[in-house]
Amino acid sequence: MKAFLLIVASFAFVYTNQTNETIPEINKKIIAFCDKQMGKKVGKGECWDLAASALNEAGAKWKSPYEFGKEINDKKETVFPGDIIQFDGVNLVYPDKSWKGFAKHTAIIYKVLNKGEYSIAEQNSNGKRFVIVSDINLNYIKKGKYQIYRPQ
């Protein structure tokens, strides 16, 4: 049984991180900040307050309002927990016809589930002005665009 759990845990780690690359230290600090803020209101409760506060706490360099680090191409580069995602007019429509929309929204990649699939830490979503985690699948974008940033 212990061997089975070890195999499952190993698979989950590799699957979550997708590569053998190491999560940058600054990203780890951002995730630690999110962990401390779960269920709490950060700043005024606006979506970008969470990212701004996490970046500041981690000592990252960024430019207000929406330049959260180095832009990365998620089709060619590894996405890590702690990366910041900025949505602009995004509508996701899933096969079961459920949907999620982001007019202008900022979130933190909390977990990488698969290519284009993430758990995101966010606030000011669905009327919740406190930090929550939601799952999204960018493979189901019907319109809009997004950008992922690597904190520096």
Mind listing the pLDDT tens digit for each residue in 2-36?
444 434 344 444 444 455 589 999 999 999 999 99
Domain for residue 8, yes or no? no
Locate 116 and state its tokens.
């284009």
What does the pLDDT average to over 55-80?
94
Maximum Cα–Cα distance across the chain = 50
User: CA-CA distance, 72 to 69, in Å (whole number)?
Assistant: 9
Domain for residue 39, yes or no? yes
Using a pLDDT cut of 90, give the percent of the chain over it. Answer: 82
CATH number at 131 reads 3.90.1720.60
Task: Please provide residue 11's backbone torsions phi and psi, each rounded to the nearest 5 degrees.
Answer: -60, -45
Domain for residue 4, yes or no? no
Q: What was the pLDDT predicted at 40?
A: 98
Domain for residue 2, yes or no? no
pLDDT greater than 50 at residue 127:
yes
Domain range for 142 is: 23-150
Number of structural domains the chain divides into: 1
Inter-CA distances, 67 with 20, 38, 152, Å: 27, 24, 11
Q: Model confidence at 70, in pLDDT bands (50, 70, 90)?
A: very high
User: CA-CA distance, 130 to 4, in Å (whole number)?
Assistant: 37
What does the pLDDT average to over 124-131?
93
pTM: 0.86
